[in-house]
Structure 1
Amino acid sequence: MKQPLRRSLLAAVAALVTGMAAALLPVLGPASPAQAADTGLHVSGGRLYEANGTEFVMRGVNHAHAWYPERTSAISDIAAKGANTVRVVLGSGDRWTRTSASEVSSIIGRCKAAKVICVLEVHDTTGYGEDSAATTLDKAADYWIGVKSALEGQEDYVVVNIGNEPFGNTGYEGWTSATKSAIGKLRGAGLRHALMVDAPNWGQDWSGTMRDNAASVFAADPDRNTVFSIHMYGVYDTATEVQDYLNHFVNNHLPLVVGEFGNMHSDGNPDEDAIMATAQSLRVGYLGWSWSGNGSGIEYLDLVNGFDPNSLTSWGDRLFNGGNGIVATSVRATVYGGGSTGGTGTAPNGYPYCVSASSDPDGDGWGWENSRSCVVRGSSADR
C-alpha cells in the first residue's frame, strides 16, 4: 500500500472513531472516579498501590498518640527500626481528647519526615454497642470531615482508618450498613483518600460479618478505594484459622490488612508465626500492636520498654527481627524513594544502625547484629 493512501485511510478511521466517541459521550457520561486517573494510594484488583502503580504492602506498627501525645519521636523511632507504615491512634473528642487539625498536620509531617505511610485512625469507636463509652462510625466520619483541611493533598501519604474496632459483640449486625454509610459520608464530603475499615467483634470478626459482607461494602464505595482490616488476637490461635481468613479475601480479590496483632493476649494465644508467614506469602500487610505504653494488664504487647527504641521486648524482637519480620520484609513506599527500609535505618557511612547499643561491648560505636556490622546511633562511628 502506498504511504499517501495509508495516511488517508488512517485519518478517515481516526475521524470515524472520534465521531463515534463524541456521539456516545452523552449516553455514557464522563469517566467515573474508579475509571479516572489514579491519585495517591489506591486499590486495584484487591491490592493496594501507590499513584505510580507500584504495589505497597504495609509492614508496620501501631502507636498510641492519643494517649501519649508528648511522645513525638515515636514515629521516627519506629521508622528507624524498619517499618514502612505507622498506624496512629487519634481521638475524635467523643471519648478521648480530640486530635485537632493542626495536630493531624504535625503527625502527617512526622510520618513524611520519617518516610513512612501514615494510617490515621479514630479510636473512640472501639467496641460500640458493648462499650457504653464508645461512639458511632457516623460520629467518626464527622471527625474526619472536621479535620479535612489537614488531610487534603496528602493522598500519597495517608490512609484514613475510619474507626477502630467499631462494634463489640453486641449489635455487630449493624456493621455493614454503618460502614457503608460512613464511607458514603466521607466521599460525599470530598475525601478521596484510601479508606480503611475495621472488622466488628472488637476487630476480630469471629462472626464472619466483615468477611461475608466485604464485597458489598467495597462496591458501595464510589471510588472503589476501601481496604479491610482484621485484628488478630485470641480468635486466631491456629494456623488454619489465620490462613482461612486471609485466603478468603485474597481469593476474592478484596484488599486486606492485619491492622493489629500480638504474640499473646488475654483472650487466647494468637499464632503470630502463622500471621506473619501467611501475610508474607499472600502479600498482605500487617501492623503489630503496639510501640509502647500499654496498660491494664496487657503490658506484654509493648514492642519496646518505656518508649526506648534501644530496649526491645521479646515481642518487639520477634516482630522486627524474627522470621517474616519487618526488617526482612519491609519495603519503603516509592513516594519516599522505595527500596529496603534498611531495618533500623542506615548511617551516613552506609552501615545499618544497631537495634541495641548493647551490641557494642567495646564502646567504639561499632556492633554486630544479624550477622553484619552495625553502627550505634549517635556514636563516633555515626558519620
Structure 2
Amino acid sequence: MTGAAEGTTEDDAAARACLTAAADAGDAALGRLLRERPAAEVWAALRDGTLDRMLPASGEDRRRDRTERWRVQAAQVEADRLLDRAAEAGARLVVPGDPEWPGRLDPLGDRRPYALWVRGRKDLRNSCLRSVAVVGSRAATAYGLHVAAELGHSLAVRAWTVVSGGAYGIDSAAHRGALAGAAPTVAVLACGPDRFYPRGNEALFGEIAEHGVLVTENAPGAAPTRYGFLVRNRLIAALTPGTVVVEAGLRSGALNTAHHAQELHRTVMAVPGPVTSALSAGCHRLLRDWHAVCVGGAAEVAEQLGSIGEELAASGGTVMACDGLDEEARSILDAVPEKPGAGPAAIAAEAGTGLDTALRQLGLLAAGGFIERGPSGWRRRPGTAPP
C-alpha cells in the first residue's frame, strides 16, 4: 500500500481500500462525504450503521436501503485481508494524492474513485500522461478489428498509450496493436485486480500486466456486473484527453464512454464505417449529432490532442523545460542516445539506476516531449539536448 494521501493517514488509505469492497463504485453522495471527512471516519460510520446520518436527507428510504446493504457487506471486509489478496495477485493500492494517482480523474468530482487497485509493471499516472482511449463494439467486424489494431499500433509507434477496457472485439484489437508497437497499454477492468474477465483474454491481460497496466476501482475478489461495466466507462474516458470510437452500434457501451468524455470536456473522435453496417451506426451518430471529430488514423488522432500531440515532432519542442526535471530524470535523459536508440535495460545501466526507475522516468520524458520510441528503442528527439 502506498503512503497517505491528501493529508490522510495510513488508516484513511486502508479505509478507502475497504470502501472499494463494500460500497457501490462511483456513488456521488459517498464521494462528496469523502471530500469533507477523513476516509477512516466514513468507514467507521459505515461499519457501525451511522453512515446514513451523514448523507443527504433526500431519498431517505432508498438511502437507508443502500447504506444497510453496504453495512452488511462491510462486516465481511478486513483491510489486511484485502491488501494481502491484492499482493498475491501482484496488485497495489493507489489513493488520491499518491504519486501514481492520475490527476485526470479528479474532474470526476464526487464520482471520483475512492481508490484504485493497480496491477502491472508500468506507472499508471505516467502511462496516462500521453494517452488515448480506443473503444468500440465487442461484436466487431473484420473492418473494425483491422482499424482498431492498426490504430493501436500506429499510436504506440508515436509513443501514445492506448487505454481501453480489455473486452473482446475493438478493445482487444486496440490493446494488441499497442503491444505490437512496443508501447504500454492500460486496461480498465470491471472486476477485481485478481480476476480476468473475459476469461478468454487471460493471456492478453497477462501481457498487459507485463508491459503496461491493469487498473480497477473494484476490490480483490469482485466479480464483474452490468452496472460495473457502465461505471467503469467513466474511468476510461477520464484517464485520457481524448476518446476514439472505432466501431459501435446505436446501443453500444462505447457510446456511454463517449458520453462521459463529452461531459468531461475531452475530445471525442469517431471512425466512419460502411453505411450498410449497423456496427457503424453509433459512430455516424457521434459524427452527425454529437459533433465528434472524424478521424481515420493515428496522425489525425494525435493532431486533435493538443500540445502533447504530433506537433511536438514537427516543432522539436517540449512541453516542459529541462530545468524542471529532477536529478533522477536528468540522469535518465542523459543516458538516452540520439540514435539509433536503446532499450530500457541499457538506459538504466548507463544511468546507474534500477529498471523500474528507468521505466517510470522514460514515460515522463516521453510525455514531456524529450524522447521518442523508435525502431531500435528510446532515443532523444532531434534538437533536445540533455540538461
With the length of structure 1 as denominator, give the TM-score of the two structures. 0.37
Indicate the structure with greater helix content: 2
Q: Which has the larger radius of gyration?
A: 1
With the length of structure 2 as denominator, give the TM-score of the two structures. 0.36
Which protein, 1 or 2, shows the higher relative CO under an 8 Å CA cutoff with sep ≥ 6? 1
